[in-house]
Amino acid sequence: MILLSEEKVSLMEEIYTNTRLYKDFVNYKKERNLASREVRYAKKEFEKKLATDIKRNPKSFWKYVRSKTSVKTGVHDLEKEDGTDADVCAQ
């Protein structure tokens, strides 16, 4: 059901960007907010189900926890052609 909502939001957004009419923007905004609400509800229900099934299925719980606590890497430092780190601030 969420997939259909996201497709509808995408369609409404395309219609609005083509026409630039206020009524199309209102329709897009309404569908976007509805889809966001459905996503939040689905996430809440999924997390609630994980919490109730933790005794029977701890592996899925910890898999979800690890996916939410993973560290995202940032942008790597610049390197010179010889492989040493470039000092950007000194230039």
pLDDT tens, residue by residue, 50-86: 999 999 999 999 999 999 987 777 777 788 888 788 7
The pTM of the whole model exceeds 0.85: no
Read off the pLDDT of each residue in 9-21 and give the average, rounded to a whole number: 95
pLDDT-derived band at 30, boundaries 50, 70, 90: very high
Concatenating the DSSP letter of every residue in the chain gives -HHHHHHHHHHHHHHHHHH--HHHHHHHHHHHHHHHHHHHHHHHHHHHHHHHTTTT-HHHHHHHHHHHSPPPP-PPPPB-TTSSBP-STT-
Read off the pLDDT of each residue in 9-25 and give the average, rounded to a whole number: 95
Statement: residue 90 has pLDDT above 60: no
